[in-house]
Structure 1
């Protein structure tokens, strides 16, 4: 479950009568030293004791009778005027029952918090982190259904008194939340896959229990999407894997992280090796494009859309690289490395870890989840390619937390462990600091502390000096001729993409001339609403400053193919024209046959750049990147 920027903002206004008291965040026993940036104090403050009710059918956990409570983090933490934080749950609060429409705690955050504490315990030998990991894992496995037809699936929400809420308001999908495959099942696999090996020698009895629950989760995955392994769906003419977890790259990524961690510790586990091979094959199929062709080798967000990348799915290269290492699949490593080398530099030079390119950078709000995903991908791929330049790229991505963002101010305080819930596209900062944001912030900090050279780059990147990346030039800014008209979509969201604004509708003989300011080698990607059936072609030309016109070739107006599982029969997709000549002042689209719906031009610089106080990242349109200091 994702708690995006606007959801957290709304939470501050909705929950006027919270259950939990306000907490001031103070440094923990794991306070940072002069160089360490990991500080779990704020995450510690979100944890609360949860009663675990005995006698609930299908729900039990390790040593329930002897230890009838566990721990879980509150979902949200609203920033107060005095600097403290008010812990709140999800959904509308009922003061009579003390319940939230969703709950106080959720399996998504419990699982990911457990990953944080396991990694801190393993990396820093922090005794308190071992204890928190133990309690969180007992809580997570209580939420996991242990018997019956849904064994292995997970109830998402729980109230502060321990009551499970499998059908919240609004309802989850699936509903009830343990009725099938889900993000929270994938994250449970992630937590158990990392935690069980960690406890192997420290607490063998608990490790065996976690292994049993891992097996339950794996069985649930096997009876879910993996029953469709080898089958393919069609989405707007593209062949897509039918076995992706909940049709989501992000969910598949997190399941893959857990499977890879388990298999690394248990290389003879044939069942995990088989499942991981299937998940990795699905992930690899979601990477599309190449240098100069959108999305430049990145991973699409979902099998239902050919137009969408999201920031929180940005850890797919990390997951595929981890799988490649344990499976012995250099071809998968190559896919992951291609995405990191070609796509992540385009993201960083354009504006940073945006929530969504759909297909233009439409959702420019940014959250720790997306930022952490870029850092983890660059570091993981670097660890398996042994390329130091990828480590430096991770440092550039991590600088977002320390000031290299659109606010030019820190979004994380290592002295307290406090982060922010997000930055809006206009630079407004959401000062709340809920569980998801804290978890992904600390995952980045743990990675930085494990790689001091990367940490040094990140912490020195305290502002953005300059940035030049992908630019959106709206089609409606052009001059219409020959009967071309402007149209406004009823909604920006089509079901699988976003119109960036109005669009130009043009029939045969009509044209639109759009002013651009371009250097030699800049690449224009017309964002066209391509129809399923062939609907003619459009010829493109570049107008140079002296008035000379240079042909740029032609593109189809349709011909995608069958709609399949996509939400609409047409799809907004960036096409690719040849590099522009020097002196281009306008680009003209002239419909030669059929009809055209043109949303915008996505202009990719010949060489994009991001300059921080300590370095410059350059990313040629032809692919790759360099970092100079």
Structure 2
């Protein structure tokens, strides 16, 4: 399974490895194949066999699993760990160039160890019914992987760390709920056929407990209940963590907990994700970066797995809207998956350009999505009917450097956008005592405030130590002021396991922006580091075009509100768990905070 496939102008592809090629040896400075992609490819063929009962898929999965376990260390102090890279001739490369963490790659637990657990667990569930001998080998290797995890993260069970004053579990794999979630999917699968395996059950329970501790925000509060993927940041959500809610939903049948966290992620955060412009690869904390198949498929699987537990059909409807991304309902307005060949583009850039290369990761996650769609024809029919770039009206970000400054306030530009745990969005404003920043609301912001209300969320760098306060007000055309709130500029808490002093994160002001406001102003009484002002409408929307000229609209409520429906627009309102609340139409259009509606016209 080659890692990358570069596309030529004539549409053909060249398989390449990672890093630079040594023509004399045929080796790449990283390698040709890697454990991450071998693991996930095995899962593709395992799931294909389970869905379609083609024995050729099972045979392919077997050989991929043999390759994967060849990469696993079998003895010594690193027993159970996994080498990441393999060369075309089968040689293993434990230390890649450029240097990666981990180095050597089999020196500790890792994302590729977590994905090995995922593949081994799903393979045990499949092979148990057809090949007891091979299953016994897979169980042996899963237990070997647990030996490595017990030396590392599982050995820290019960240890809590701090991330900018927030308690975070010290026993998730490689510090990530993202990696841990993928391992949990494998552990849960193995338990379906080996319910008495106490070692697997204990690991599942403890890892699920760690993931359950990672949600952040709430309805109307950034990041809206998303499960944070990394203990090292309270400001960064990325799409690679998207399978954590799926893991919690699946594990809840065994552990009896975690479902609420899964529901918040899929039923509160995902709708906000879609109305912010789609499944961006990262919110850091402003939504941005490319959109990739991995992030899209993770959303689909998490929605469907959670719907399986809650019975909420609204989550399946959401999954169909997400899946439309593959067929043209995306920022490029073009299909990114070719059903004739399986080719899937490597991503859509923020400006809508397609990266037409087709690496292993994109292909893998597209195929996982397609297997799920093929098992739910109604979902597939809706997804394939969606086309064209969605029209979104979601959160709005007003840059501080473009606002009106007075007093002790000046624009500053960081040397690097990356802080070690988040990203500045361009320049920012540093204001001292009496410094003032005034944002004039543009037409889109005025429309959101007048239509149904909105809340203000300043994106500030809140320091660990005391740094004073900032007073926020809304101003109407006559100059009258409404106090929106006062924010502490310090007191974020000890950085703990994070790399930066303080946290860059939107903070909601208590009072909604009143109708008639034309500007929002802040006066510093201390040290204010202000990057953006985020405005969140009470109802955000994403309208997707459907074949035959119809459209589907997703409405997301961050506060109790009424939907602005047009004649002929009808549908249903759902709770975050996907259960239907009632109809959405001209006669009944109220939605409670945290609910979403899907309408058609």
TM-score by length of structure 2 reads: 0.90
Query: 125, 136, 153: which one pairs with 1:197?
Result: 125
Is the contact between residue 243 and residue 282 of structure 1 (CA under 8 Å) also seen in structure 2?
yes
Q: Is the 8 A contact 1:464 1:610 kept in 2?
A: no
Residues 128 and 193 in structure 2, CA contact (< 8 A), matched pair in contact too: no
Aligned to 1:308: 236
Matches within 5 A, 1:127-166: 127-166=55-94
**1-structure distance, mates of 2:196, 2:534:** 48
Indicate yes or no: 2:220 matched with 1:249.
no
Whole-Å separation in 2 of the counterparts to 1:589 and 1:437: 44
1:512 aligns with 2:437: yes
Corresponding residue to 1:626 among 593, 597, 600:
597
Q: How many residues align?
A: 553
CA RMSD of aligned residues (A): 1.2
Q: Which residue is 1:53 aligned to?
A: none
What do the CA deviations read for 1:4-38 (whole angstroms, capped 9, x no partner)? Answer: xxxxxxxxxxxxxxxxxxxxxxxxxxxxxxxxxxx
Alignment of 1:156-195 (within 5 A): 156-195=84-123
Per-residue CA deviations over 1:179-208 (Å, capped at 9, x if unaligned) read: 110000000000000001201121211111
Which residue in 1 is equivalent to 2:570?
none
Corresponding residue SS for 1:617: strand
Task: Name the counterpart of 2:352.
Answer: 427
C-alpha displacement of 1:364: 2.5
Partner of 2:272: 346
Report how far residue 367 of structure 1 moved: 0.7
Give the alignment partner of residue 124 of structure 1, picking from 33, 52, 64. Answer: 52
Note if contact 1:264-1:326 (Cα within 8 Å) is conserved in structure 2: no
Q: Map of 1:268-307 to 2, 5 A cutoff? A: 268-307=196-235
- 1:47-72 Cα shifts (integer Å, max 9, x gaps): xxxxxxxxxxxxxxxxxxxxxxxxxx
2:232 is paired with a residue whose SS is: coil
Partner of residue 41, structure 1: none
Choose the corresponding residue for 2:406, options 459, 481, 494: 481
User: Which residue in 2 is equivalent to 1:437?
Assistant: 362
User: How far off its partner does 1:216 sit?
Assistant: 0.5
Residue 214 of structure 1 aligns to a residue whose secondary structure is: helix
SS of equivalent to 1:194: helix
Equivalent runs, 1:351-500 vs 2, <5 Å: 351-361=277-287, 363-500=288-425
What do residues 561-589 of structure 1 show as CA deviations (whole Å, max 9, x unaligned)? Answer: 11111111121011001321123221101
Give 5+ residue unaligned stretches, structure 2: 547-551, 560-593
**Does the aligned pair in 1 maintain the 2:160–2:170 contact within 8 Å?**
yes
| Alpha carbons 2:474, 2:484 under 8 Å: kept | yes
Q: In the TM superposition, what is the alpha-carbon distance from 1:465 to its structure 2 partner?
A: 4.5
- In 2, the alpha carbon distance for the partners of 1:290 and 1:554 equals 20
Residue 463 of structure 1 aligns to a residue whose secondary structure is strand
The equivalent residue for 1:4 is: none
User: 1:264-298: CA deviations, max 9, x gaps?
Assistant: 22221111111111111111111011001111100
Tell me the CA shift for residue 624 of structure 1: 2.3
For 1:231-256, what per-residue CA distance to the aligned partner results, in whole angstroms no more than 9, with x for missing partners? Answer: 11111111111111111221111111
CA distance in 1, matches of 2:383, 2:289: 22
8 A Cα contact 2:400 2:429, kept in partner: yes
Is 1:526 the counterpart of 2:458? The answer is yes
Counterpart for residue 13 of structure 1? none
| Corresponding residue for residue 617 of structure 1 | 554
SS of aligned partner of 2:306: helix
After TM superposition, give the deviation of residue 110 of structure 1 in Å.
0.2
Q: Which moved more, 1:320-329 or 1:185-194?
A: 320-329
Q: Which residue of 1 aligns with 2:157?
A: 229
Please report how far the alpha carbon of residue 219 of structure 1 lies from its aligned counterpart in structure 2 after TM superposition: 1.4
Q: Partners in 1 of 2:24 and 2:517 — Cα distance?
A: 66
Partner of 1:548 in structure 2? 480
Q: Would you identify which runs of 4 or more consecutive aligned residues in structure 1 move more than 4 Å?
A: none
Instruction: State the distance in 2 between where 1:479 and 1:385 align.
Output: 49
Corresponding residue SS for 1:569 = coil
Given that residues 523 and 621 in structure 1 are in contact (C-alpha distance below 8 angstroms), is that contact kept between their aligned partners in structure 2?
A: no
2: CA distance, partners of 1:410 / 1:341: 26
